[in-house]
Each structure stands twice: as structure tokens, then as C-alpha cells.
Amino acid sequence: MKNKTKIAVLVSGGGTNLQAILDAQKSGVINHGEVVAVISSSPTAYALERAKNHGVEGFVVSKKEVGKENFEAEIIKIIEEKGAELIVLAGFMSILSESFTKKYENRILNVHPSLIPSFCGEGFYGLRVHEAALSYGVKVTGATVHYVNEIADGGKIILQKAVEIKEGDTAEILQKRVMQEAEWKILPQAVELVSKEILNMKESEVL
């Protein structure tokens, strides 16, 4: 078996983006990376069930249980234990500190449900993003995969995909279309791109 970049996926809810990554791994879209851990901030997240169904080890790190000051330290401990070299935020509802994002610079990916720099930053998450797009009256929205830094949705863009807004769209309908047509496509593609880059860098360091 060839070398693969080890990936930790951070989740908080249903895990549909995690599912897109696991499916892409199975189908060969992600060929240079492998999910080795799913870390959830909630013990009831369905994403943990998805991980289990794919034979991936799941962990729970709850702020309520470990305390706010130990939250990131506990996540880091799992990342290091599993040897993960790439971190993917897939519906992870906690903002990571600057010290965390600096520690894993250019190693954390996030998918955001708009075409950054539109409708992004603090307070823009979930349905709020789509509500803002509809109330503004834009004709095209989409999704963006970007590196995570200390600024909310402020890291370098890796991939974007546009999605048309249709007459009669509600925030819920639009959210579903953006997921199906953009998020679930570009997130696995970006994971593959960065996984390959990480492997190439490691190989060039060995030479």
C-alpha cells in the first residue's frame, strides 16, 4: 500500500461533508489521503455513526466535559496520537484559536457555503449564509474550500464552485443545492489536492 496523508476530520453534527469525503476515498477521488480519525465536539453527532460505518475511529471532545481551556489541547492530543497531517473541518461549530491555526498552518481546510469573500466571516454559518444571499438578491452563490487561519473564513482559497439561485428558492432549498452541487464535490477534490501536496513535500524532504 502506498503512502497516504493521514487526515483528521473535525465535526459537530450530521456529517454530510464527512460522508462526501469517505465516499470519495472509497471511489478513488481521494487517492493520496486517508481519514484516520473523526473528532466530534458533540457526543450525539450522527457523524460519529458515519465514521463507525466506515471503520474510522471516532472521538468525542466536548467543551462541557473537558472545559474550554482544555478543549483544543484534547483535540491536539488525538491529532498527534493518530499522526494526522491534515485537518478538515466538516461542519465543526467551534472557532479555533490563533495558536491552534498557527500550529497547523496550511494544514487545516474548511468548506464555506458561499463564494468567499461574499457572505462570510463571523456570524455567517449554516442557513444564515443562504438567507443573506437570498435577501441580497444575488443570482449566483456557491461554496469555497479554503485554508483556515486566525480570521474567520479568511484563509487562502483552494477551490470554489458556483451554484445558480433559482426563482422561489428558500434558504433550506438553496442550502441543499449548494451542498449537492458544490460542497460535496469540491471538498473531496481539495482534500485530494492538499493530501498530494503534503506527500510531495515529505518526499522532497527525504531526497
Q: Rounded to a whole number, what is the largest CA-CA distance in the chain?
A: 57
Question: Is a pLDDT exceeding 90 seen at residue 207?
Answer: no
Q: Which three cell numbers stand for residue 193?
A: 489536492
Nearest by Cα to 36 from 1, 75, 86: 86
**Residue 166: pLDDT band with limits 50, 70, 90:** very high
pLDDT at 1: 45
Nearest by Cα to 96 from 60, 64, 63: 63
Answer whether 20's CB lies under 8 Å from 14's CB. no
| pTM (2 d.p.) | 0.94
Question: For residue 87, what are the contacts with CB-CB under 8 A and spacing of at least 6?
Answer: 7, 8, 9, 10, 79, 104, 107, 108, 109
pLDDT at 202: 87
Q: Which of 32, 54, 112, 146 is catalytic?
A: 112
| Number of Cα atoms under 13 Å in the Cβ half of residue 130 | 20
> What's the CATH code of the domain at 138?
3.40.50.170
In the chain, the number of structural domains is 1
For residue 149, give Cα distances in angstroms to 56, 107, 172: 27, 10, 28
How do strand 157-164 and strand 86-89 relate by DSSP bridges?
A: unpaired
pLDDT > 70: what percent of the chain?
A: 99
**Residue 204: pLDDT band with limits 50, 70, 90:** confident
112 included as an active-site residue: yes
Residue 98 belongs to domain spanning: 5-206
Answer whether 123's CB lies under 8 Å from 47's CB. no
* Mean pLDDT taken over the chain: 95
Nearest by Cα to 152 from 103, 68, 92: 92
Residue 198 and residue 190: Cα distance in Å, rounded? 12
For residue 87, give Cα distances in angstroms to 37, 59, 83, 139, 186: 10, 14, 11, 32, 16
Answer whether 85's CB lies under 8 Å from 5's CB. yes
| Number of Cα atoms under 13 Å in the Cβ half of residue 194 | 26
Question: Is a pLDDT exceeding 50 seen at residue 183?
Answer: yes
Q: What is the pLDDT of residues 39-97, one digit of tens each?
A: 999 999 999 999 999 999 999 999 989 988 899 999 999 999 999 999 999 999 888 99
Q: Which three cell numbers stand for residue 156?
A: 487562502
Question: Is a pLDDT exceeding 80 seen at residue 206?
Answer: no
